[in-house]
């Protein structure tokens, strides 16, 4: 049995990710913040921690990036990409045209603007702390209230779905990572996440770093910069590359890359996420054992 910590409360997309990784015998541990998830794993309160890393609309979760860069030596052992599906839910019996108050997390509200403008033009909106709390707030509201929430929260709180997939963008996805004491063993279909800083932030130095990867025929699947928290203009680059850090050509390239950098840290190597195909079982092949 393992314990998987995530950003709670139950019913959030983070819980959905945690459920994707956990088996029926595992225990899920909802915590109040992303740093709390990291601390839980570092102190043994949890075996693994689920962190949101990036969203296709909003970009990177900077809290997660900064924790990986500076605070923890835990490793990334798995990744998972979840579609973000926003649902409109309420207490059983209430109909769409009766809704006067809409509870929603500000981000979910911003991502469902078209639906809300068209189908709930007169509703007063109330900010909630999470997609799950939005439903709790709506169900306990004395007025005719609905919530923008998740499928999982609707299931947990026995609410009624008024509308599904109300998000503006069809390609709204969030990528989660699983943090643990060690990263994953090579599978032949892996990804490695790392960060580095260059002696000078000029075209030449970053170019040299990317050339090391290109010469080794290693694909870069993501490149992101974060401020080094020193002066403006000093950046730490976060990169995802294809391959496992233990594969010889990757190990050699990382070694050459490290020699060019003033700061270098590998977050871990792990199987690349592949969405389940209709025929495949729903369990993830990248689930840690």
> What residues are annotated to the active site?
174, 176
The answer to the question of residue 127 lying near a second copy (CB under 8 A) is: no
Q: Which of 39, 55, 131, 261 binds a second copy (CB under 8 A)?
A: 55
Buried b (16+ CB within 10 A) or exposed e, 192-215: bbbbbbbeeeeeebbeebbebbee
Taking the least distance from each CB to a second copy, the nearer of 16 and 94 is: 16
The answer to the question of residue 32 lying near a second copy (CB under 8 A) is: no
| Local structure of 83: helix, strand or coil | strand
Residues 188 to 227 in contact with a second copy, rule: CB under 8 A: 201-204, 206-207, 210-211, 213-214, 218-227
The answer to the question of residue 117 lying near a second copy (CB under 8 A) is: no
Q: In sequence order, which ranges of the chain are alpha helices (DSSP H)? A: 13-21, 34-42, 62-66, 106-110, 113-119, 131-139, 151-156, 203-215, 248-259
Residues 66 to 85 in contact with a second copy, rule: CB under 8 A: 81
Paired tokens of 176: 């989660």
Residues β-bridged to residue 238: 195, 224
Q: Which of 143, 169, 274, 283 binds a second copy (CB under 8 A)?
A: 169
Paired tokens of 172: 């709204």
The answer to the question of residue 263 lying near a second copy (CB under 8 A) is: no
Nearest approach, Cβ of residue 70 and a second copy (Å): 12
| Local structure of 12: helix, strand or coil | coil
Residues near a second copy (CB under 8 A) = 54-59, 62, 81, 169, 171, 173, 175, 201-204, 206-207, 210-211, 213-214, 218-227, 229-235, 241
């Amino acid at each position: 049995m393992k314990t998987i910590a995530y950003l709670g409360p139950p019913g959030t997309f983070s819980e959905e990710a945690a459920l994707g990784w956990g088996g029926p015998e595992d225990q899920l541990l909802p915590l109040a913040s992303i740093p709390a998830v990291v601390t839980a794993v570092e102190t043994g309160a949890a075996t693994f921690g689920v962190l949101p890393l990036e969203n296709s609309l909003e970009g990177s979760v900077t809290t997660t990036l900064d924790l990986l860069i500076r605070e923890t030596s835990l490793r990334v052992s798995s990744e998972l990409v979840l579609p973000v599906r926003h649902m409109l839910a309420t207490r059983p019996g209430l109909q769409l045209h009766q809704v006067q108050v809409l509870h929603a997390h500000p981000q979910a509200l911003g991502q469902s603007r078209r639906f809300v403008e068209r189908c709930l033009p007169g509703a007063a909106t109330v900010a909630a702390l999470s997609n799950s709390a939005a439903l709790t707030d709506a169900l306990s509201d004395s007025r005719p209230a609905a919530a923008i929430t998740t499928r999982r929260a609707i299931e947990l709180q026995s609410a009624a779905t008024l509308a599904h997939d109300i998000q503006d963008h069809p390609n709204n996805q969030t990528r989660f990572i699983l943090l643990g004491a060690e990263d994953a063993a090579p599978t032949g279909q892996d990804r490695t996440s790392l960060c580095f800083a260059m002696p000078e932030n000029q075209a030449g130095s970053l170019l040299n770093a990317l050339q090391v990867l290109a010469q080794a025929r290693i694909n870069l699947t993501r490149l992101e910069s974060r401020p080094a928290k020193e002066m403006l203009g000093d950046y730490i680059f976060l990169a995802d590359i294809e391959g496992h850090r233990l594969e010889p050509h990757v190990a050699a390239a990382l070694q050459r890359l490290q020699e060019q950098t003033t700061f270098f840290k590998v977050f871990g190597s792990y199987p690349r996420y592949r969405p389940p195909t209709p025929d495949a079982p729903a369990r993830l092949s990248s689930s840690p054992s």
